[in-house]
Chains A and B, each alone.
Chain A
């Protein structure tokens, strides 16, 4: 999006600082990712672009979803880490909200990298927007490299299965793959489990039209009573749990790994349960 003119960019950055509240500028200045003379890191992440692009997302965070984040101190200030949580809501606003929490409400802030599906780089504008905001395609090679460089990754092990599940299955967890666990064991990165409460109600999925999804090369084609992409103004609650440090070899038998995955899954489920228990209302 080269068309994002300088003036618009400055205005958006100011909006981000306004929405972020006092001290936001000072906090964000602590973020110093590597960047070359063209302002990007080797993955195309542009912190300046992120500050501008964050504004509308931050508006959703503060004003629309009125996100409450609990336990942000459990996200390590530095060093490699995997943030692992539940995925829901038809469109991945949950990922954006978790990133905003780590960027705006966490002190010191952290630019968490979300891992996106291989489908994303085929989308015009979205592919560019995501890349400039630091997100990468979730291949094992990319993950290894980023963890070795002490970055924090945002992982939804359920993938689109969780994102597009029907409303009747809300707040249950789909199968977690083994990939994220292998990465954690290999790199020695702690896993921070988190639960997102609220996203399930933002766009209840009634139907998933597989034939249309195939036709359009989308992973899913959900039908909801809301007009996608507009979610309902639910209130989000993010619960971050204590980091799990798992030990063992990434080459263990699947059965051994699955035991560990079950521990992570249980930790995520516990955060969701806590969030649901403390929630008084879906919308406020």
Chain B
């Protein structure tokens, strides 16, 4: 059977009707949630759709040595000149990809932009690892992003794409099933681990307002999984006996790493701008994912699971911070219909392929 239509995501409310009835979305505050509404309308002009438009000639990718960065570089390098920026070396680098092993906060980065005439920036270089020191990660993420944005303005970069995450909204028991891009970013309320990402996301939202001449895109994909990614959701699904919360079985959304790379490539093309959730092939209960993978979960009662996960994390026996328990207990689903409408986006991997992709390790 074919997968069902994407979440019943109809042209719901008449714009006027919306403001009155729901708190916290419309005039939620200065700068923050409103950006997408204002900028989302623009890409209509693209006509044939952004897929037809050629990529910018030179694309800089931060965090290129990460598993996703490598994938993106390999997807783009035939069509554009790719310039990598990462403090890590880039192993198995394609011959025509240029790599600069440098910290994004260093002045040398500006030199690269100047010399290479970078036209587009894909910013993937955000540290998520909960074990990197918090203040170092914070400086790298926030100061580094600010620095890149300043450089982009000074050197005529026409396109900035940030890889954010749907986790910025945060799981909560009262969440609607499908969060839209206007939802306030409350993810850090219970899980400080996403604070940097939220700050970077907000920084780029502000940038979008201040520099209307630069096409800025923020992508917030759902949980990225795949054979090479090593993020929390993929690592969790690779466990033989993952801890679950007894009696809770939230519907989750996953997207394949290759589909995320395709979404990034789409966002890099001219004509796309705005804040977009990126969803994969659909929604599925966590228990069904476990069954598909043949896992044997260990359900713990909700009052025990957080203390246990905290102990394990503190003893360095697991890499899952206790705040992440919310993600396997409550909903954090998003509505990806805006990206579909504006760009014609469709994930290529089926639900089954996406789930099973964590099994094939490199």
Q: Which residues of A contact B (CB under 8 A)?
A: 1-2, 34-44, 118-128, 131-132, 136-137, 139-142, 144-146, 148-149, 179, 182-183, 186, 250-251
Contact = CB atoms under 8 A, between A and B. Distances in A.
Given A36-B3, A127-B248, A186-B17, A42 B282 contact: yes
Given A1-B249, A121-B173, A137-B174, A186 B285 contact: no
B173 A124 contact: no
B301 A148 contact: no
Interface residues of B, number: 49
Given A42-B178, A144-B12, 4 more contacts: A38-B284, A38-B292, A121-B173, A145-B9
B315 interface: no
Contacts of A179: 21
Given A144-B13, A148-B10, A182-B21, A139 B176 contact: yes
Contacts of A2: 249, 287, 290-291
B285 A122 contact: no
Given A36-B4, A124-B246, A142 B177 contact: yes
Contacts of A122: 173
Nearest to B171: A121
B9 A250 contact: no
A121 B301 contact: no
23 contacts: A34-B8, A36-B3, A36-B282, A37-B3, A37-B350, A37-B351, A37-B352, A38-B284, A38-B285, A42-B8, A42-B282, A44-B285, A127-B247, A128-B248, A140-B21, A141-B178, A141-B180, A145-B176, A145-B178, A148-B12, A182-B17, A182-B21, A186-B14
B107 interface: no
A44 B330 CA distance: 13
Contact of A131 (B10, B20, B251): B251
Interface string B265-305: 00000000000000000111101101110000000011000
Contacts of B362: none
Nearest to A141: B176
Q: Which 5 A-B pairs have the closest CB atoms?
A: A124-B247, A149-B8, A118-B174, A148-B10, A141-B176
B299 to A, nearest CB: 9
A182 B20 contact: yes
A106 to B, nearest CB: 22
Nearest to A39: B288
A124 B248 contact: yes
B247 A139 contact: no
A38 B292 CA distance: 9
A132 B250 CA distance: 10
B245 A124 contact: yes
B351 A38 contact: yes
A212 to B, nearest CB: 18
Contacts of B318: none
A89 B17 CA distance: 35
B13 A186 contact: yes
Nearest to A178: B21
B4 A34 contact: yes
Nearest to B9: A145
Nearest to B297: A2
Nearest to B291: A2
A40 B330 CA distance: 17
Interface in B7-58: 7-14, 16-17, 20-22
Given A40-B284, A42-B4, A149-B10, A124 B302 contact: yes
A19 B129 CA distance: 55
B101 interface: no
Contacts of A186: 13-14, 17, 21
Residue among B16, B301, B331, B352 with the most chain A CB within 10 A? B331
Contacts of A128: 247-249
A53 to B, nearest CB: 13
A26 B154 CA distance: 69
Report which residue of A119, A121, A183 has the largest number of chain B beta carbons within 10 angstroms of its beta carbon: A121
Given A121-B331, A124-B301, A127-B247, A148 B174 contact: no
B183 to A, nearest CB: 9
A126 B173 CA distance: 13
Nearest to B10: A148
A36 B351 contact: yes
B132 interface: no
Given A124-B245, A125-B247, A139-B174, A42 B7 contact: yes
B1 interface: yes
B317 interface: no
Nearest to A43: B177
Nearest to A186: B17
Nearest to A142: B176
B261 to A, nearest CB: 24
A1 B299 CA distance: 11
A35 B4 contact: yes
Contacts of B292: 38
Interface string B326-361: 000011000000000000000000111000000000
A136 B283 CA distance: 15
A141 B24 CA distance: 12
A4 B267 CA distance: 43
